[in-house]
A and B are shown apart, each in its own frame.
Chain A
């Protein structure tokens, strides 16, 4: 395996091109927006799973928290778009750091179970606090304020295309930031912890601190995507909190350990579900099958498959 990060500039360009093409190929900009929002959540999950080796079932909780907190800030405190997103980002980081700090006190299956337990707890807390969250019905009438800075309005984001452009810019920023994070001293240490925690500890790293920061970053990005999702739907459903499995499946199908893979995973999940949902209401059975196939035969996910195909082609040319 080569270094942890191949073609940094190349993958940024590939993503930028995809962002331009996506709304042109797909039937609606709303579908394209949905892909990017879930790709962001998968990206955040990938930082934990693919790079830190941490399988977290708490991603739905961060996603739901971002949706609720941004919505509550907009509805009750009447804050604008950027402040609402910032609220989601910061509170997501805080919640994830707290959950992470407790969950990483155990490793392996117990760690996974703890993240699941926190997620279930969060679900029932949101269910109980129906004055704030709308309980079972979800939080209705979530606004989508215009994009404004210091009183100057850039766009009202009313049309689906305008909102897509905004989300695409946010996605590109997050994608490039993630690339930087992985290539930083922090990111390289996270990979080292995934590879061999005892050794990482022996060469001087306090591995707990690194895992907590990984959780905080992942939680921040996931909450941001949750907030963007609530603004897309004008609605924050309770089911957001049960998104953990879907986010994990997108990450694994796309390719854990590859940022481009997260975009591919989210893209195929959203597109396939959009097509299949009309034909067959039990389409999720097929996604389950796809997951089994990937885990059994394509360990690097879709991106891993593409990579090995490219390598094979290049080798043939050399001969």
Chain B
């Protein structure tokens, strides 16, 4: 059995003494969809922030692909193969769908993108990447439309596409269905399931229904700690999970 792509060891994050994340240990295996769920305030997003480099954990370690990344700045994680999507849609609103994806692909160049004397056309692979991702997401028809003019559901899908452009080894998806209409949710769910064949995915989700059908492993968090971890079937029947969600009257 190969080593986990992402290893989280005893990770804690406290805000002025309040333990948002409390000694969380968690492994994401290669080419699996690993979901982290939990009621509001369970610490999902705080955990996510530690993984993306937005927040510095108070203690503990994060190992990605065997290398420690606990204190690596956010922009450098992208080129090591860790890509993220945002819970609140974060796109280049006035730029076209194609340009959004091309920029996301070019992001892998890091400071090499500082060349100001060459034309964009010189880096053909970024345009090709953008085209292939549009194909996969079914957005090819919308290539020249400004991202801000897409429907909300399509913007959420483009949001995931932005992460894919970084050729990630691990995709971190933060509530990809947030704010989506009922009819759009199955489209996104299918897309994530499809991506799970090619990528390792860690999915943060509030809605339990969505993750049950597509996850390989589910970790349930509550009050900053891990409550239960297991297969969807095991989690579904677990008494403690039911309590945590019922406590929130969900």
Contacts and interface: CB of A to CB of B under 8 A. Distances in A.
A284 interface: no
B111 A187 contact: no
A183 B119 contact: yes
B175 interface: no
A288 B99 CA distance: 37
Interface stretch (B84-92, B202-210, B214-222, B230-238): B84-92
A3 B102 CA distance: 12
Contacts of A196: 90-93
Contact of A195 (B52, B93, B110): B93
A78 interface: no
Interface string B79-123: 100001010001111111001001110111111111111111001
Contacts of B96: 2-3
A199 B113 CA distance: 16
- Range of interface residues on chain A? 20 to 34
B119 A180 contact: yes
Chain A interface helix/strand/loop/mixed: helix
B146 interface: yes
Interface stretch (A67-75, A203-211, A290-298): A203-211
Given A183-B119, A185-B113, A188-B106, A201 B99 contact: no
A186 B116 contact: yes
Contacts of A203: 78, 103-104, 106-107, 162, 165-166
Contacts of B117: 180-181, 184
A137 B95 CA distance: 49
Given A189-B106, A204-B76, 17 more contacts: A2-B144, A3-B96, A185-B112, A185-B116, A186-B113, A186-B115, A188-B99, A198-B86, A199-B91, A200-B103, A202-B75, A202-B78, A202-B84, A203-B103, A203-B166, A205-B107, A213-B114
23 contacts: A2-B96, A4-B95, A4-B99, A180-B119, A183-B119, A183-B120, A184-B120, A185-B114, A185-B116, A188-B99, A189-B113, A192-B95, A198-B86, A199-B92, A201-B74, A202-B52, A202-B74, A202-B162, A203-B107, A206-B111, A207-B75, A213-B116, A217-B116
Q: Give the 4 A-B CB pairs with smallest separation, nearest first.
A: A204-B107, A203-B107, A204-B78, A186-B116
